[in-house]
Structure 1
């Protein structure tokens, strides 16, 4: 039996703790829609998530590990004791997330701790750090912009033609009526071809999210230990993904019950778009070796979708002409009556899906949260599969009240402000705390 030094054992345990919590939080976000739609079960979701996270970490995730283990500060700075401190800060970010119920970015917190080390020792690579900070600003801006364009020009047409069905007995059932000893998987008899296609899209995007999560998050758990040479990058990836997998099979079951804190009120279609955009941004950044937050990108895309959807009540020509004459702040007031003017927010995504308190505006399809809690039981499989495409009004032809009529609030502005504040606060505290500790004790 190989003896592990006590300090290294502590470092490995902290790394496992970080990976365990990453698996618990990320699995629900990636596979929430698939589990809520009963396309896959929780155990299958955990297994698939772990497999694709391993692929992501083993491939482009190495670029992020390299940046965090030797790019921000020289590799020589990562003694074993220093590495443990950095990992504790990454774990602290997860603790803040749990205490305040906000998905704090582990990547941003870990980078902040490493930056504090670099400032304290005067070894920070300012060029690399500037590139990371620039990406943290550009990524959510891109996510918001893409969401806005999709919400304004694409989402209503997709929503009118695509539906996602919740199958009470699951999409695939086990037929035990045969003479053989093993049950035979059979497709749900209520499943139309487009239901199968929709289910396939949901699962593919979930796998893509898992790949992205592994690529960006493996480094958060093991980069400092790789930096000091305690473990190799390959060993670290296996350790991190194993810990993430344990989290997926255990505490992630709770997050799968609630189908992710940030997407419970989103229609399935919107959740898929948000997941696809967020995962793509993080995959690209991971390929460049830049650690970034998937949660930040996804939230920015959600806001952009809502803004884009609600902006359809006016044409660009109307908004531009009035803006030139009256100024941007007064443009919407002139084009629309003040009392009819919609608030540009993510609430409009619920309106697009027909989520309303009004009996005259019935829901078109279930939201992710309803699929999780079973609140959409009254909507039968057959009704979903027979849904006819809806004609989409042109831009500027919709009445504001049709867009936001009695919609429940998807984004509480106070809560959103708290989320953004904590996203900025946690890496700031990590950087200042790390700097203080390394100046005083190292």
Structure 2
């Protein structure tokens, strides 16, 4: 069972790398500062390991003992938690959607807490409040920055060319590195915190091992998500890329120093959307990839919560009554969604 727990953690770590790659280096790739994907992903991996080893301790503590009591993390609970989070993250990676691993990990841990009625609700609500606020803050900052950059470019159209281009190129790579560093501070904890909570690893060993596997996942599996964040939302210039990466890394690093796991994928994507909105107005929200991202962000934490809760009730407690309620809830939800779609189609047909 212990070997299975480690396999689940390392598999999750690699999926974290695949998702976090776009969140950290997508801007540097999109702006043209880094032209080859493998170079962007290699830099991402190195920064993630550094951030994990030197700054991941407080977030690890929050996830391992700040949401549910530490003694709840048995080997079986570790496996269920990590597999629930992996399922949600793997689904997002297949779709090419950059997803916050903190949200799905904490969702899975919350499912455990609800199953055993030991959830620290106030602490969870405190973290969720930051999940809601910080993407809005990131969007607002880059929207304003985008407007200012547009005016600057109108006044100095050749600003990013000539002698200044190498300077801006270096700056966007540096800010991208620190964004990946912030991902290491926060994201690696999602994979290793359950193992630390179960006393299967020390914090230091867990962060080093987890950092290596997250970096491997970024390098080997991050290409598609990198493309989504880098190319499909909006195009960004070098100065815009610096603004996006600096905003994301500042918010995430500041929160991680206090042990708050912010959703870096959402913050970076919101920053890019804010920049795109400054360029294109409401048109950026009409893109299919943006609406798809927003839906996945909302659904994923509940999916991992549901999977972990269901697995505990079914596999560990054999509580068929709870499983029946869960199944009924899923069927009812799907039925309502289908009914709303049918009603919308009928209204559309009448209006035509």
TM-score range with shorter-chain normalisation? Answer: 0.7 to 0.9
CA contact (8 A) 2:23 2:269 kept: no
Which one scores higher on RCO, CA 8 angstroms, separation ≥ 6?
A: 2
1:21 pairs, out of 15, 19, 26, with 15
Contact 1:278–1:294 under 8 Å retained in 2: yes
Structure 1 residues 12-411: aligned runs within 5 Å: 12-35=6-29, 37=32, 39=34, 42-152=37-147, 154-160=148-154, 161=156, 164=160, 192-253=162-223, 260=230, 263=233, 265-308=235-278, 344-345=281-282, 347=283, 410-411=284-285
Matched with 1:435 is 309
Structure 1 residue 245: Cα displacement: 2.1
**How far 1:63 sits from its partner (Å)?**
1.0
Q: Comparing 138-147 with 128-137, which one deviates more in the overlay?
A: 138-147
Range that drifts further, 289-298 or 215-224: 289-298
**Structure with greater proportional helix content:** 2
Contact 2:20-2:265 at 8 Å conserved across structures: no
Determine helix, strand or coil for the equivalent of 1:279: helix
* Per-residue deviation, 1:155: 2.0
Q: For residues 219-239 of structure 1, what are the alpha-carbon distances to aligned partners after superposition, in whole Å with 9 as ceiling and x for unaligned?
A: 111110010000111111111
Displacement of 1:286 = 1.4
Structure 2's unaligned 5+ residue stretches are: 317-352
Shift of 1:67: 0.4
Distance between the aligned counterparts of 2:232 and 2:101, measured in 1?
A: 16
The whole-number CA distance in structure 1 between the counterparts of 2:229 and 2:291 is 22
1:348-371 Cα distance to aligned partner (Å, 9 max, x none): xxxxxxxxxxxxxxxxxxxxxxxx
Residue by residue over 1:28-80, the C-alpha shift from the partner in whole angstroms, topping out at 9 and shown as x without a partner, is 44334545636575554444322321221123321111000011001100001
- Report if aligned partners of 1:72, 1:128 keep a CA contact under 8 Å in 2: yes
Q: Do 1:218 and 1:237's aligned partners in 2 also have CA atoms closer than 8 Å?
A: yes
Which is greater in Rg? 1
Quick check: 1:63–1:288 contact (8 Å CA) kept in 2? yes
Where does structure 1 lack aligned partners over 5 or more consecutive residues?
1-6, 166-191, 311-343, 348-409
TM-score normalised over the length of structure 1: 0.64
Deviations 1:225-269 (A, max 9, x none): 010000111111111111122223323355556773655633443
Q: Give the SS at the match of 1:216.
A: helix
Q: CA deviation at 1:211?
A: 0.6
Q: Give CA deviations for 1:360-414 in whole Å, capped at 9, x if unaligned.
A: xxxxxxxxxxxxxxxxxxxxxxxxxxxxxxxxxxxxxxxxxxxxxxxxxx44355
Whether the 8 Å contact between 1:263 and 1:271 is mirrored in structure 2 is no
CA RMSD of aligned residues (A): 2.6
